[in-house]
Structure 1
Amino acid sequence: MLALLGLATIVVLLGAILSKRMSPLVALIVVPIGASLLGGFGFQTSKFALDGLRSLAPVVGMFVFAILYFGTITDAGTLDPIIDRILKAVGTRPTRIVMGTTLLALLIHLDGSGAVCFLVTIPAMLPLYDRLGMDRRVLAAAVSMAAGINFLPWTGPMIRASASLHLPISSLFNPLIPVQAVGLVFVFGVAYWLGRREEKRLGLSSVGGAIPMPRRAISPEEQALRRPHLFWFNIVLTLVVLGTMVVMGEKIPPAIMFMVGLCVALMVNYPDVDMQRKRIDAHARAALMMAGILLAAGVFTGVMQGSGMLKAMAQSAVGFVPPGMASHIPVALGLVSMPLSMLFDPDSFYFGVLPVIAEVAGQLGVPAVHVGQAALLGQMTTGFPVSPLTPATFLVVGLCRIDLADHQKFTFPLLFGASIVMTIAAVVLGVFPL
């Protein structure tokens, strides 16, 4: 009975989110609470929800302060010299242009926002593609691959996986660093191949620098916030924050590092208290929207776990999985995780589907961390730039002025290939046991 109630809860949750009858925030709170009350848990429901909220506090704190930190140093112009150097270095050779596009998108996506990555990279590079007559689908594919492969600790899928499975981000992310490195090699290899193909198609391999480079436009308001004299300070500060988080993540919580980093960045770049307040206000909306969803997810996972619905579903599902195949669950999930982005939005997958898979795997002796890592190799990481369920996909096709179908047909195989390569690398490197 409890297993059926849990299954019905997840079906209703997915239906409400995917049909857009409820926002993810509302569905993640209302649906599990309603199910718990129907299951006869009464006032215990509030305890389940609070337990879930407590477990997510460090994750929510890290996400909020990471958004504020990267927003602040971007406002200060830390990335401007890097962007300008890339634009100057690529020249007018398609191979360099595509690889430069990939590198630029990779750097811009350090803040974890696909929308910001596309809004900065595509307008900066599109004039050069148009001047040379290069295929705009190549531009869309290059930025999609760079953003898709960049699943950093403060990106949405990583945060969701950590929250839904109640695992430290360091335990999910650190073992995947060499896997992500393999993915980056694949992405830049594909970028080089796409550029070479464009050279052959256009006969532009011998083109020099006769075509003038496009210039990036910065508004007067943005220029007033720039702090070019603090470029190296901001770079060193960022390296210290990220390096400490990766190397000492078990001893120093990432949330603390981003809190301290934000305070230092604000005091040095914007000593005026009023300017500090305005910088926080400028980025608070994005941070608080995601924080609200994460806290709502805490209610969902807390109720599902505390009530025993999740465990009951897993115990029922265990009988359908041959014991000899249990160890292959992470590999199988890694191989299908990218196409799942076309079927599930990130909230419904990470908070509705992933906990059930992890619980089933756990019943068979497979650690939940491997299941979470497998999902991160594709589900709304490499998959999000082509998924019709994410606004970022429509931003890519809109900025590049191409059809959605053309973008998906051209880019899907490349992103799927990256996901498969990383899954294989995870096996070879011993991240996933066979």
Structure 2
Amino acid sequence: MSARTLLVAHPSPDLYGSDRQLLETITAAVGGGWRVVVVLPMSGPLVPLLEERGARVEVVDHPVLRKALLRPAQLVRLPWRMLAATVRLRRLVRRVDPALVYVNTVTIPEWVLAARLARRPVVCHVHEAEDGHPGLVRRALAAPLLLSRSVIANSAAARDAVTDVVPRLATSVVVVHNGMPGPAEGPAPLRERAPGDPARLALVARLSPRKGIDVALEATALLTAAGRDVTLTVCGTVFPGYEWFEEELRARAGRPDLAGRVTLAGYVHPTWPELASADVVLVPSRLEPFGNTAVEAMLARRPVVATRVQGLAEVVDDGRTGLLVPPGDAAALADAVASLLDDPARAHALAAAGRAEADLRFTAERYGDAVLAVLAGATGHTVEAVARPGS
């Protein structure tokens, strides 16, 4: 067995929250002396970034448990697909011969089974905090985690989502909040504005109902109806199958009360310029296991208005580092934004406190050290044996 090879299984080649967090995981592992092989189900924009971080990438088709596969018609065929994938992936694991398999989601459980059948230890990283599925489905997603040597959850909400349905996992789950670097040149100063000046709002997210973009549009309409000169820029694209939601957003943005007020910008990278141009950043998710965008806004030194749900309530300290409102409540979202537009001094204070909090709690260095400690424990090394050079 190779003593220093880490095989990482990831469900997406895209560049959204958990995909970008994977880049920080790879940076930490390579810096800690691991040889890293990442397996993706298809090629995409994540591949060259992984390679830049020092990973070797293989593209191997494997099932990912998207919501479409959890429908009755698909569930009938799913066990056979999972069984066939497990057999194929077991051969892949034995070929790569890793010291450890790192499964970066609960939505590819076949990797956990394949690794254990190949007699390799497993670490699972939980980025999900689903509570909308039936209990049986949630237990089925969480149960394979019992085969892991360690489980990382990106928030207490994600931890609770799996331990509530499989209590035996409580002793093996460690919470490691996401960490990320800030803008390379440091945060640009928050634009000076007086109450009543035009205001720019920004939202960065996948275009899906769970992200609450429709709520942000309604809040923008309410602010406009109240006589405020506000615009909203939405950065993000849809998962395949959610094109209907983007069509609904475009139709709503084109109605007279919002015409010219909303820009659906599509995929934007890097997002720092969009955040820097904003007076307030919105994170109106209905469900959010962590909330990378909230942290990015804090790192960009911009005031955040987010929803009081799951991981966002762990990231944002209401009234100190940002504002929290109930999910799905456009009026509350509009009121919170208005309070910041009417009180620029408070907006500056929240932005400054948010930046200080992000520098303390959500750095890439802190995250990398925590991940390395888990990898060390899962393979029986000491933390010093896998510490990054200079750490």
Per the normalisation by structure 2, the TM-score is: 0.23
Relative to its length, the structure with more strand (as a share) is 2
Structure 1 or 2: larger helix share? 1
The structure, 1 or 2, with the larger RCO (C-alpha pairs under 8 Å, 6+ apart) is: 1
With the length of structure 1 as denominator, give the TM-score of the two structures. Answer: 0.21
